[in-house]
Amino acid sequence: MNIDNYTWRDELREAISDLTPGTALCVLFLVAVIVIGALAPVIAPYGEGEILTNNSFEPPSTMMWLGSDYLGRDVLSRLIYGVRITLFLALVITFLSFLAGVSLGFLAAAFGGWVDNWISRLNDAMLSFPALMLALIVINSLGSSLVVLVFTVAFIDMTRVFRVARALAVNVMVMDYVEAAVVRGEGKAWIVWHEVLPNVLTPLAAEFGIRFTYAILFVSALSFLGLGVQPPQSDLGVMVKENLQAILYGEYTTLYPAIGIALIAISMNVFVDWLLQRSSAELPDEI
Amino acid sequence: MADSLLKVRNLEVSARGRKGREFSIVDNISFDVQKGEVIALIGESGSGKTTISLACLGYSRPGCHITGGSVLLDGISLLEQPLPKLQELRGKDITYVAQSAAASFNGAMTINDQVIEMPVITGSATRQDALSKATRLYKELELPDPENIGKRYPHQVSGGQLQRLMAAMAMISDPRLLILDEPTTALDVTTQIEVLHAFKTLIQNHNASAIYVTHDLSLVAQVADHILVLKDGKMVEYGATEQIISVPRNDYTRELMAATHLMPEEFHAPPLVTAQEPPLLDVRNVSAGYGPKHEFIALRGIDLTVKSGETVGVIGESGSGKTTLGRVISGLMNAAKGGVFLNGQRLANHVDRRSRDELRQIQFAFQMADVALNPRQRVNKILSRPIMFYHGLRRSEATREVARLLERVDLPSSFAWRFPPELSGGQRQRVNLARALAARPSLIICDEITSALDTIVAQQILDLLESLQDDLGLSYMFITHDIATVTRISDRIAVMRHGEIVAQGLVDEVLTQDCHEYTQLLLNSVPEMRTDWLDEAVTRRRKLIAALS
């Protein structure tokens, strides 16, 4: 009986049928953005740093659909490359922060006692620093590079992920089925992997979405302040900053990346909300 | 029948599933409640009894709606009243006592404030009048210190008292109809009869009518005039209490009668005395407590033995330490003093330091199968893990073994591919047992495994336990608060109170006429199938309590 295959497809089909029109739109947008980011070199009409005209802030034309930026580069092409690097950074950062945060959170929950106490109090200490200030200090002192940026933001995010992961795991650790595994003589690793993880996967996935959004905003904010992605590369945050003067000339150049950031963040949030709502609806509705 | 207080005719309620499917949960129910009469709705969980009682308030739970029929209170159709009119009726003419008083009281307000809330906000009585009436009701309900108990907060009184205070809240506005939804189910067995008695007296004194919802036929026989037996939302039998309990006409009613918590006619035959074989499990002088230094004592000097192939029942109320004893034996909790011996070998205090074979021999079956089985693991995984863990079988062999196990507990082998939430309560409890069996243990500690189940299902589980014992020579330690159940399947019993064993031995030795007062108290709480039992039981109970303290 090939049961695994059957339920996977079944579940996916059911999930798609559960989508509301608004959520479906957001999911479509996210998929489109990811595809655009992945295929940027193929899709973008021009290169990232290619200077096409001597005029700054040219209005949209058939040659440059969204006009030119302050150096006369194609805004659309830079936007596509910007989406690529923004998504890539956010993904790597969120992935790293989850790897560290969830591991530590489960460790604290599984062992409890002084292990839990030490990890949690250290984490609380880290949490007490304002995130943006901490990032500014670290990046300023270590020098601005993509590696430093990724690890700094991932570390800061990890402290947030840790709290969520620990709280979720602690709730599961007190369930009778975990106790049953303890009486059987199972080790901590088995319990965490087979008993705890499957039960916290949905809320963690939702948290991943939220953290992903925050990572985009955070990196964009750092780039805007000049500490994130360095020229000639650019992410959406850099583009907002570069083209600020366009407002003076009555052009919308700086708004395109800003709208991009906003739309990605909102779509992600709507999708995550739907995910959470759906997983709570699956619980038995006994009163 | 013109003067009946409440008339329910052809009531139909249906619910909407997640995919928008409609399914009927209450189908064509009709009954009358006369003035001053108590009618009982009885059935298993899912039989629609609570839904019907709520419909008598003109209410349906979210997701449910009343699709047909009528509910008339003194000629007023409750289902057609606008909400403001209904709200006026609910609280004044019809009141409701919920199953769990602890969950229904607001912990931040004093009891008095909550009891008198209704008459005061509707303006039907001044605060002063309402308070003095509340005190009268407290006195009537035989609550201690009726003058002052209302000044306390809900957490400062016991569960049984809180349930009675909730009845006071319901009676304060002199309702014509009182709806009681399983008001004693959450209480300890010995408190239960006291509360039931208080309810009965109260209803009689005020000549109120009541609808009493319960799953326990023997209890309801004490208070109800008429009984309506429900199954799957349909009426099975409706008649006077005497008729239902003496000559039930329907097969289902007879089945319910057979499964009630009555004392068995005769006890389990004592096992044949075998030669001086060392006991399988020997608990010697064990003390244990909670807190880092065991400062909150839960067990004091426990001595207990379980022989091979024998069932030992451990009985006690909540807080008596019976579950703690199970946890100490299985190694989930450290003993402060004493030791646990398996086949004469001393077991390490904690699970971590016991060998895999020692762990295999003692299995633990948890009370609530719905939280004891991981909802995200298929039955196959739940059952094959102990097989692979203890016996080192490969996955394919384990899967075949799972099919055999499922068959052994009378479940179809296709259930292996289901998740626990897709099973009923009784089926889950069978899987729970199968998991214990998968280890091929010598002893299974059963912690209240039948108490969350409906009576008929619980009976089936007990039958299963017996047949497993006959086939596999298992020993059971059966932890429960229900003395009637335990005497039915045990060879020997131990009675626990305040962390100590007050009596133990063969069933007929412990349950004699002149046994320990506490054992008598427990025995006294087992209902008997006659309508005049309650008053006698309450009188006896008070004598015993006086003797105990």
Q: Is A174 an interface residue toward B (CB < 8 Å)?
A: no
- A195, B374: Cβ pair inside 8 Å? yes
Which among B332, B375, B386 is the nearest to A182, CB-wise?
Answer: B332
By mean pLDDT, which of A22-26, A29-33, A177-181, B320-324 is the weakest? B320-324
Residue B373: its chain A contacts at CB < 8 A? 177
At residue A284, the pLDDT reads 39
Shortest CA gap B325–chain A (Å): 14
| Mean of the per-residue pLDDT values of chain A | 87
Q: Nearest CB to A177: which of B63, B367, B371?
A: B371
CA distance B210 to B229: 16
Give the percent of chain A with pLDDT over 70.
Answer: 94
* Strand B311-315 relative to strand B475-480, pairing: parallel
Query: Does the distance separating the beta carbons of A176 and B372 come in below 8 Å?
Result: yes
Chain A residues close to B389, C-beta within 8 Å: 184-186
Nearest to A281 among B18, B351, B417 (CB): B18
Q: Is A177 on the interface with B (CB under 8 A)?
A: yes
Q: What is the dihedral of CA B458, B464, B467, B472, to 10 degrees?
A: -130
**Strand-pair partners of B68:** B12
Residues of A in contact with B60 (CB under 8 A): none
For residue A59, the SS3 value is coil
pLDDT of A190 strictly over 50: yes
Are residues B374 and A285, on separate chains, in Cβ contact within 8 Å? no
A180 touches chain B (CB under 8 A): yes
CB contact under 8 A, B376 and A198: yes
Q: Which residue from A177, A184, A185 is facing B373, i.e. has the nearest CB?
A: A177
Residue in chain A closest to B353 (alpha carbons) equals: A185
Regarding the domain delimited by A16-281, which CATH topology (the fold level of the hierarchy) does it fall under?
A: MetI-like fold (1.10.3720)
Say if CB B215 and CB B42 are below 8 A apart. Answer: yes
Nearest CA to B53 out of B105, B5, B107, B98 is that of B98
Residues of A in contact with B356 (CB under 8 A): 185
> What residues form DSSP beta bridges with B211?
B39, B179
Average pLDDT, consecutive stretches of 10 residues, N- to C-terminus, chain B (549 residues): 78 76 83 89 84 87 83 86 85 84 84 89 86 90 86 84 87 88 79 85 87 84 89 88 85 82 65 66 89 81 90 86 89 88 89 90 87 90 93 91 92 89 86 92 90 82 90 91 84 89 85 79 80 82 83
pLDDT at A4: 44
Please list, in sequence order, all residues whose beta carbon lies within 8 angstroms of the beta carbon of residue B407, skipping any fewer than 6 positions away: B413
For chain B, report the end-to-end CA distance as a whole number of angstroms.
51
> Quick one: which H or E segment has residue A119?
helix A113-127
Report pLDDT for B267. 65
CB contact under 8 A, A179 and B417: no
Residue B272: closest CA among B308, B245, B303, B244: B308
Alpha-carbon distance A187 to B218, whole Å? 47
Question: Where do we find the tokens 């040219």?
Answer: A58
Q: B521 vs chain A: nearest CA distance in angstroms?
A: 31
Q: How far is A176 from chain B (nearest CA, A)?
A: 5
Highest mean pLDDT among A48-57, A163-172, B296-305: A163-172
DSSP 3-state percent helix, strand, coil across chain B (nearest 5): 40, 25, 35
The CA distance from A177 to B369, in Å, is 9
CB B77 within 8 A of CB B88: no
Asked if A171 has any chain B CB less than 8 Å from its own CB, the reply is no
From the list A183, A285, A287, the residue facing B351 with the nearest CB is A183
Nearest chain A CA: its distance from B525 CA (Å): 29
* Count of positions (residues) in chain B: 549
Predicted pLDDT of residue A286: 33
Tens-digit pLDDT profile for residues A59-116: 888 888 888 888 888 889 999 999 999 999 999 999 999 999 999 999 999 998 899 9
Three-state SS at B492: strand
Whole-angstrom distance, CA of residue A278 vs CA of residue A281: 5
Q: Cβ distance B525 to B190 under 8 Å?
A: yes
Q: What single-letter DSSP state applies at residue B158? A: -
Whether the CB-CB separation of B416 and B406 falls below 8 Å is answered with yes
Count of A-B CB contacts under 8 Å: 58
Which pTM does this prediction carry? 0.79
Residue A182 at interface with chain B, using a CB cutoff of 8 Å? yes
Mind listing the domains of chain B with CATH numbers?
Answer: 37-54+81-258 (3.40.50.300), 281-526 (3.40.50.300)
Q: How far is B468 from chain A (nearest CA, A)?
A: 21
Q: What is the least distance, in Å, from the CA of A118 to any CA of chain B?
A: 19
Query: Which of B359, B374, B389 should be substituted to probe chain A, the one whose Cβ sees the most A Cβ atoms within 10 Å?
Result: B374
Give contacts of A180 with chain B, Cβ < 8 Å: 364, 366, 372, 435
Q: Determine whether the interchain pair B374/A3 forms a contact, defined as Cβ–Cβ distance below 8 Å.
A: no
Backbone dihedral angles phi then psi of residue B534, each to the nearest 5 degrees: -60, -45
pLDDT of residue B269: 61
User: Sheet harboring B296-306: ordered strands across?
Assistant: B296-306, B281-290, B337-342, B345-346
Are residues B374 and A1, on separate chains, in Cβ contact within 8 Å?
no
Listed in sequence order, the residues at least 6 apart from B83 whose beta carbon sits closer than 8 Å to its beta carbon are none
Q: How many CB atoms lie within 10 A of CB B7?
A: 18
Phi first, then psi: give them for residue B493, nearest 5 degrees: -135, 155
For residue B270, the model assigns a pLDDT of 59
Are A180 and B18 inside 8 Å of each other by CB? no
Q: Residue A1: what pLDDT?
A: 39
Q: How far is B413 from chain A (nearest CA, A)?
A: 12
pLDDT at res. A3: 44
3-state SS of B173-236? CCCCEEEEECCCCCCCHHHHHHHHHHHHHHHHHHCCEEEEEECCHHHHCCCCCEEEEEECCEEE
- Tens of pLDDT, residue by residue over A214-243, are 999 899 899 888 888 887 788 888 888 888
The arrangement of strands across the sheet holding B6-16 comes to: B22-33, B6-16, B64-73, B76-77
Identify whether the C-beta of residue B410 lies closer than 8 Å to the C-beta of residue B388: no
- Residues on B contacting A at a C-beta cutoff of 8 Å: 18, 61, 63, 330-332, 351, 354, 356, 359, 363-364, 366-368, 371-377, 381, 385-386, 389-390, 417, 421, 435, 439
Tokens 């250290």 correspond to A122
Report chain B residues whose CB lies below 8 A from the CB of A182.
332, 351
Nearest to A184 among B18, B359, B381 (CB): B359
Please indicate if any CB of chain B lies within 8 Å of the CB of A10.
no
Domain ranges in chain A?
A: 16-281
Q: Taking CA atoms, what residue in B is nearest to A188? A: B352
Residue B106 sits at the vertex; the CA angle it makes with B104 and B109, to the nearest 5 degrees, is 145
Of A176, A198, A199, the CB nearest to B366: A176
What local confidence, expressed as pLDDT, does residue A287 receive?
28
pLDDT digits (tens, 9 = 90+) for A199-214: 998 889 889 988 999 9
Sort out which chain A residues have CB atoms less than 8 A from B381's CB and list them.
194
Distance CA A73, CA A49 (A): 7
Query: A2, A7, A183: which to substitute to probe chain B, counting the most B Cβ within 10 Å?
Result: A183
Looking at chain A, which residue has its C-alpha nearest residue B360? A184
Measured CA angle at B16 (ends B11, B20), to 5 deg: 145
Is A182 in Cβ contact with B372 (below 8 Å)? no
**By the 8 A CB rule, do B60 and B13 touch?**
yes
Nearest to A1 among B18, B363, B417 (CB): B417
Q: How far is A121 from chain B (nearest CA, A)?
A: 21
Reported ipTM exceeds the 0.90 cut? no
Task: Kindly report the nearest CA distance between residue A183 and chain B, in angstroms.
Answer: 6
DSSP B151: G
- Closest Cα in chain A to B16: A285
Q: Measured between alpha carbons, how far is B101 from A115 in angstroms, rounded to an integer? A: 39
Q: In what order do the strands lie in the sheet with B94-97?
A: B94-97, B177-181, B209-214, B38-42, B226-231, B234-240
Which residue in chain A is spatially nearest to B365 when comparing CA positions?
A: A180
